[in-house]
Amino acid sequence: MRFFDWVRSLLARSTLGTRISADNTTGPDPNLRDPDDPAYQQTHDALQSYWEKVGQVDPIVISYIVNPMFLGSPPWPGGKQVFRIIRAAESLIIASDGLSAPFEEDKNILQNGFQMEVFIEIKGQQAMELDDIKSSAAFALIEEAARQVADWGGISELLDEFHLASSEIPVSSDAIPERFLTSDGRVGVIFGMVAEGRPKIVPNTPLSPVRMVPVTVLLPSEVQEAADGTEQRDRIAKRLIDAGYRHFSCFERDGVV
């Protein structure tokens, strides 16, 4: 969603779902989705079930006192912007929760938001405390990657066509090791590497398929090659797999270029 769309969205929210008609009367916007629409709960349940098959899902999510969209971040389809924490047998996972929520501002859009969620997975660290997770490089990256996906309006169609996508994400956190920063202070990532043993699509989402997309950190030399085209991006992905890193984000690893 671009800036002017976001402004319109913010103004619409500030009126609490009312509209002014030609005769200056106000009333509820008929296009707003009912907050009690069962699709919201069904989406939540589908995501919960997906992650429970992967590991232990923390009951506490990472959320915000003030929704980031009111501070200039791109809005998410259902308004909610949170992150789940999943503790798998050999890894820690931080996953977005809200990119696939049904669109609250238009009940006629019969799809699960941007039809995707993103996650970052790091080997070990299953016992990391919540405060340490929130100040980690992994969370700093997945938080900004999710915001970037929201700003783009999702990348499901791109992944359908090319299977992988790469980008450079602006991350302001000091938690990111300097060796992963590009010359302009961004962090390279690949979206869509395969997480072995897990379905790419979340079962039983109510409105449309939802893809679960890994976000894998890249070193600057890898970013440059991945940006050169599909063949080069696929080659970087294969090298990460061959080196044993697969879709995991490792902030201590050696480069594969």
In a structure prediction context, what are the per-residue pLDDT tens digits for the chain, which is 257 residues long? Answer: 343 343 344 334 433 343 433 445 566 788 899 999 999 999 999 999 999 999 999 999 999 999 888 888 899 999 999 999 999 999 999 999 999 999 998 899 999 999 999 999 999 899 999 999 999 999 999 999 999 999 999 999 999 999 999 999 999 889 999 999 999 999 999 999 999 999 999 999 999 999 999 999 999 999 999 988 999 999 999 999 999 999 999 999 999 98
User: What is the widest separation between alpha-carbon atoms in the chain?
Assistant: 67
> What one-character DSSP code corresponds to residue 150?
H
pTM summary value: 0.88
For residue 240, give every residue at least 6 positions away whose Cβ sits within 8 Å of its Cβ, in sequence order, or none: 190, 193, 216, 246, 247, 256
Asked if 121 and 108 count as a contact pair (C-beta separation under 8 A), the reply is no
